[in-house]
Amino acid sequence: MGTLARREDIERVDDFGIGAPNDEYAQYFKGNSYLKALTDPDDGNLKLSNVTFEPGCRNNWHIHHSKSGGGQVLICTAGEGWYQEEGKDAVSLSPGMVINIPPNVKHWHGAKSDSWFSHIAVEVPGDETTTEWLEEVDDSQYRRLRIHKQAIDEVKRMVKGDGEMGKIKIFIAQPMRHKSDAEIIEERYRIIARINNELFKGEEIEILNSYMEDFVDTTLKNKSLNYLGRSIQLLSEADCVYFGEGWREARGCHIEHECAERYGLKIIED
């Protein structure tokens, strides 16, 4: 189904309907949202509501508190959106996905900047359940998600061209300084998992990185200059570059960033 840029697009495909303006909770949303109750909890039913977000709309960080049980389930029905738990990467949402939100976990969800988005919210029964509404999602953080998506879409278009999608070559720029080999390896696997499972899910990926070529070498950090030279060589073969968290504090990553810009590569930053 993909991106739904116009209201009439989501009205056409969302069988549950977008409902009325979500005025009761408007203070906890940035942008316009709509709510349609699907059940009446007063009749002993689960509380199910279809929540629709206009492009760029998202709710504040919030927590579904519960003494036992509780939480929420999101069933994505139309358009594209985001879900994020505190301390974790944002998850890209599309129709058919189901998100299980545990109780007592700080999180937010909403539409992508270029698409309407609808999900069914299922309130999980529990004891002493309350919702605590917190601060807005930071604008710069939200914009970074959009920039990631734009860069990814452009890379896919570039690699696909007029034919079938080819293998996407991604260079990973990861700070090594002040980290043990075990920490570097653990972070690398986390980044690769995010690339495969979230950013480029379903695409054929090739990871380009000098650190990967000699992963278990205990003198890894002492070879940083040699690795930088190999990195610059590999950058010339890449379609895009992923800069890991903390890259701005690493001199080598700044050199790689300059090279990526010189080569005209798409850049995805954490």
Q: How does pLDDT run across 46-104, given as a tens digit for each residue?
A: 899 999 999 999 999 999 999 999 999 999 999 999 999 998 878 889 999 999 999 99
Number of alpha carbons in the 13 Å side-chain half-sphere of residue 230: 13
Q: Where are the beta strands (DSSP E) in 38-103?
A: 47-53, 58-59, 62-65, 68-69, 72-79, 81-85, 91-93, 98-101
Q: For residues 5 and 133, which has the higher predicted lDDT (pLDDT)? A: 133
Tell me the CATH number for domain 7-136. 2.60.120.10
List every span in the chain annotated with CATH 3.40.50. 141-269
| Six-digit token string for 125 | 């029964």
Q: What is the pLDDT of residue 23?
A: 96
Q: For residues 264 and 81, which has the higher predicted lDDT (pLDDT)? A: 81
Q: For residues 213 and 159, which has the higher predicted lDDT (pLDDT)? A: 159
Which secondary-structure segment (H or E) carries 238? none
177 alpha-carbon distance from chain centroid: 26
List every span in the chain annotated with CATH 2.60.120.10. 7-136
Residue 4 has pLDDT above 50, yes or no: yes
Closest CA to 174 of 261, 248, 267, 74: 248
Whole-prediction pTM: 0.66
Q: Does domain 141-269 have CATH number 3.40.50?
A: yes
Decide: residue 128, CB within 10 A, 0-12 exposed, 13-18 middle, 19+ buried: exposed
CA distance 154 to 131: 39
| Six-digit token string for 196 | 């495969």
**The dihedral of CA 179, 180, 182, 184: what is its sign?**
positive
Residue 5 has pLDDT above 80, yes or no: yes
| Predicted confidence band of residue 2 (pLDDT cuts 50, 70, 90) | low
Which secondary-structure segment (H or E) carries 251? helix 251-263
Closest CA to 263 of 227, 235, 244: 235
